Structure 1
């Protein structure tokens, strides 16, 4: 039995049913969460080392790295039954959609930095960091996530049930109770 099915079988039935109904979206959000961590780690690694004066560049590079990870996880897990395009065409569309997604993700941070002027020396370093996190890692990620989910379903993986899903081994809701063993009344 797959990890997803084992996990869903442990949840209360109404919750499990809801998650099964929106399985693809739930998987997309899980992949997004993992890629968010990848983006966060690379963004702050770059910002605290070689790109300390270039927060938009650091965020863009981090998002490109997270996008590569995202492609493989979404292709092979979230949207594994979807497709309908040749692999190279699908990858090209994925790259275009994610290029737009990186721009959507970076736009709020760019606006905060260069339109609102929320950077040192106009504000303190602490205010700049909080602003960069909120505009880049919260607002930008949320906008890009909504755009990507829509674009993946419409353009990148447009047709459902194109690739066969692996067979599921569902666990019955109630385990079978073994039949009572008949015993000889003689005690033998």
Structure 2
């Protein structure tokens, strides 16, 4: 019986399969990121429409932190298949904390430097500006930063061991 990955690859055009297999960590990272993007969007909008109605940066930050925890678990267990070292977890959350700030900067610029907020603009324009700056631009910048930082500092032992040439096992004569 084929694995879920094999079944998914069978649905992809044959010309793209080698690319996807060659860059499988990136593909997995992007799938985890897409899932967490949707989670961030739902939590952010839920908070903005309820308890954090007048605090859009706080709503985005809370939503991003929740998605970051989910992202850690999924990336550790699936994308990078890590062994759960304590140093790795600390570095992941340090990188993610910086990424939360990277994610918030476009929204802060939009709201407080460009004044794309009520009463200077309509409520609809404010929400579109928040979506574009916080959810789209912020998430894109944070995603690029996270991928680069995760490969460089967090999951280094996995990248190094995957790129190191594998020696063929030596047979030891039986006595």
Q: The TM-score by the shorter chain falls in which range?
A: 0.7 to 0.9
1:27 equivalent in alignment to 2:25:
no
**2:80 matched to which residue of 1?**
79
- Cα distance in 1, alignment partners of residues 76 and 158 from structure 2: 13
**1:112 matched to which residue of 2?**
110
Which entry has the higher C-alpha Rg, 1 or 2? 1
Consecutive unaligned residues in structure 2, runs of 5 or more: 163-175
Please, what TM-score do these two structures have when normalized by structure 1?
0.81
1:58 equivalent in alignment to 2:68:
no
- Cα distance in 2, alignment partners of residues 158 and 74 from structure 1: 13
* Per-residue Cα deviation, 1:36-93 (whole angstroms, up to 9, x for no partner): 011001000000000000000000000000000000000011111x56xx72111110
Aligned pair count reads 160
- Cα distance in 2, alignment partners of residues 69 and 15 from structure 1: 29
1:10 offset after TM fit, Å?
A: 2.8
- Secondary structure at the aligned position of 1:119 is classed as coil
**1:186 matched to which residue of 2?**
none
Moved over 4 A (4+): none
Q: Over the residues paired in the alignment, what is the CA RMSD in angstroms?
A: 1.5
- Cα distance in 2, alignment partners of residues 156 and 30 from structure 1: 19
* Per-residue Cα deviation, 1:137-168 (whole angstroms, up to 9, x for no partner): 000000000000000001000123659xxxxx
**1:185 matched to which residue of 2?**
none
Please, what TM-score do these two structures have when normalized by structure 2?
0.87
